[in-house]
Structure 1
């Protein structure tokens, strides 16, 4: 494992830096942890249900499991195994299982596996209609046998589940035509029955970076927004947003910033997106471009047509990484990780004025061992930091109000 404060840039794959955690014990054995339990989890993703129940999906021991908590993550129900056998789960730094919970309590999941040693992936999905007690048989989200990775799920107000991912099916056609194929395609689909079935996958954009997570939200009912690392002219891998006209119609590609990161490799370091109730897009991302290096934040008040000047995040001497932004009850909250040479800390800042100004960064959690990426989740009233660490296991920390 690599230290979580360091970022490895490689051509196709990056060493895994997620945690092996334990829910309650302060110390965990260094021995291999191959059980599908939460204490062996490497990635954990939260979502709140409409009744305030916290749902957690994680990957451990080659399997995916789900459990719920009625006490804000202090204890969890008996886990339900989503998978029936050990799988070659996508362990890339930007990969993790995804979960959404609808108003009726239905749970939609998606995650990716590796098909082969060349890191070609397959996105699988399933759904529970009985409160997480059981899940339907796993199915591929698309019939294509080419690589799909870095899926993202979002739930619309009407219960529609929207999914997007990075897909390399069109490289076959390019190869047959003797053309160069760079990156991947941004593909999407939607489900009108809560994630039981999905419509035929469609291409939204060709020429995206092939190995960075997507950010996904809704600008309004029926209008998904995706942020992704695009490949612009000259091999520049800077970020862009796309606002859909509806769940079946992609929109224009809008550039977030001109970072001028020219790299023919995979950063494995994707962006984060949230849309505030008033429609403001808040985005955070990593770059190592000629124009700027490090973590940055910007906002848009015109549906991504223009963005504010990038604001740097974190201390450059502590290698800030893995930003996440969420507009919620506590204002707009941002978190990221920093490494000071001994410990990894999660830094937090809050904006009360829709991204115009931000509070001084504050350490809200830390570990001296490996850890997952910091995530933010809200139950509509309170925003929480969701973080998995090897030493302390799963933590759900309320974001307290600041002056």
Structure 2
């Protein structure tokens, strides 16, 4: 299987290369180049960029820059974008944590739901805000809190189920103070959820899935073949072990049993800031990727479940241990499974990729598909009905939206 890197197409890329000769032409991406100390709300200034495809094939981006959340769309697979629309009305103290980013989801009618979090104080207590657009992204409702509770909420995940309802999950510390008032020790946060039957205008009351989860790692959300939400999260097991767990909902209001993804035995009284990846293939298989620094294993790993998350295959090591592999993502695309992650060789960061055409039984050899010499966002994978793409924001080289092309 072969892959092609994006090629610079604009004068802007040429001018930037003249100013920064150490950058490679192959790593520039159209006109969406990043700028040093950029405080504008434009895409070129973004630190976190999140993609999603609409049913009609339109690519949507939500990003944080200049203290605000913006949205734009592309009809040509990321070569050009519409004039950005401001989701927020004012500069906010957006959650800049390593695993935080704006989230967006698009339903079959083109309605858009957006969620993001802000810091409310110097102790990193957060608040999850949500908004929606019912006019094709031309305007958004004023953002409002997803819950009335005043404790900390962060690391939200949202998605539309097949019936058009929004499902949301997040990490919430509302049980911390009551526990402390009872003289009890309280570790981590709680995994909470809510749903919206009106496209994100209003959400149901928040409900608890599990308490004492890790408080600072992103959640992974997907829907199974029946449209039920599936969430993977870093849990705090007995003895302070922060390994991953999974829960499948029987409907939007009913979480099922919690199962352990693997026994890595990472005992740590701190925040890893490193969440998992999840996708559900057409065959109904759950595919999970994650990072651990446990006693049993260290590094990036992959496992799959054919029984709805009750049991998982033996963890498969991913990446080169001597290059600090991190930030794994996985997606079931139209041509099979794609897994991507970051590696660092001491000078540059690469995005490495593997594919599987037999539902995760075997994987191709890793291939480097992009690199940068400066800081960068997590690599993200997104797919329409025909192609899988890499979405990656870099400080030095700008925004990449790159087709993952291969020969059978």
- Short-chain TM bin: over 0.9
Equivalent residue of 1:173, what SS? helix
Structure 1: gaps of 5 or more residues: 1-20
Work out whether 1:82 is the aligned partner of 2:96: no
Work out whether 1:369 is the aligned partner of 2:374: yes
Alignment of 1:75-114 (within 5 A): 75-114=80-119
Distance in 1 separating the partners of 2:311 and 2:81 = 43
Conserved 8 A contact 2:340-2:354:
yes
The higher relative CO (CA closer than 8 Å, separation ≥ 6) is in: 1
CA RMSD of aligned residues (A): 1.3
Distance in 2 separating the partners of 1:361 and 1:28 = 28
Q: 2:22 maps to what in 1? A: none
Change (3 A) 1:291 1:402: farther
Deviations 1:147-168 (A, max 9, x none): 0000001211111110000000
Distance in 1 separating the partners of 2:34 and 2:144 = 35
Change (3 A) 1:378 1:95: same
Question: Which of 250, 255, 258 lines up with 1:250 in the alignment?
Answer: 255
TM-score between both structures, scaled by the size of structure 1: 0.93
Equivalent residue of 1:277, what SS? coil
Work out whether 1:335 is the aligned partner of 2:354: no
Q: 1:13 maps to what in 2? A: none
Conserved 8 A contact 2:327-2:379:
yes
Change (3 A) 1:29 1:199: closer
Distance in 2 separating the partners of 1:119 and 1:310 = 33
Work out whether 1:324 is the aligned partner of 2:326: no
Deviations 1:197-242 (A, max 9, x none): 1111100110100000000011133411100000000000000100
Q: 1:63 maps to what in 2? A: 68
Alignment of 1:258-277 (within 5 A): 258-277=263-282
TM-score between both structures, scaled by the size of structure 2: 0.92
Conserved 8 A contact 1:24-1:392:
no
Change (3 A) 1:29 1:132: closer
Deviations 1:381-400 (A, max 9, x none): 21101111112211111111
Deviations 1:289-321 (A, max 9, x none): 000000000000000110000000000111100
Conserved 8 A contact 2:34-2:399:
no
Conserved 8 A contact 1:22-1:28:
no
Equivalent residue of 1:369, what SS? coil
Equivalent residue of 1:143, what SS? coil
Distance in 2 separating the partners of 1:211 and 1:242 = 18
Q: 1:315 maps to what in 2? A: 320
Deviations 1:226-260 (A, max 9, x none): 00000000000000100111110111110000000
Work out whether 1:390 is the aligned partner of 2:395: yes
Which has the larger displacement, 294-303 or 393-402? Answer: 393-402
Deviations 1:121-147 (A, max 9, x none): 000000001111100011100000000
Conserved 8 A contact 1:282-1:325:
yes
Equivalent residue of 1:136, what SS? coil
Equivalent residue of 1:317, what SS? helix
Structure 2: gaps of 5 or more residues: 1-26
Distance in 1 separating the partners of 2:168 and 2:264 = 28
Question: Which of 298, 304, 311 lines up with 1:299 in the alignment?
Answer: 304
Deviation, structure 1 residue 76 = 0.4
Deviation, structure 1 residue 330 = 2.0
Give 4+ residue runs of structure 1 displaced > 2 Å after superposition.
21-30
Conserved 8 A contact 2:32-2:44:
no
Work out whether 1:211 is the aligned partner of 2:213: no
Conserved 8 A contact 1:222-1:247:
no
Equivalent residue of 1:84, what SS? coil
Deviations 1:254-302 (A, max 9, x none): 0000000000000000001001112100000000000000000000000
Conserved 8 A contact 1:97-1:111:
yes
Change (3 A) 1:98 1:215: same
Deviations 1:94-114 (A, max 9, x none): 000000011111000000000
Distance in 2 separating the partners of 1:300 and 1:339 = 30
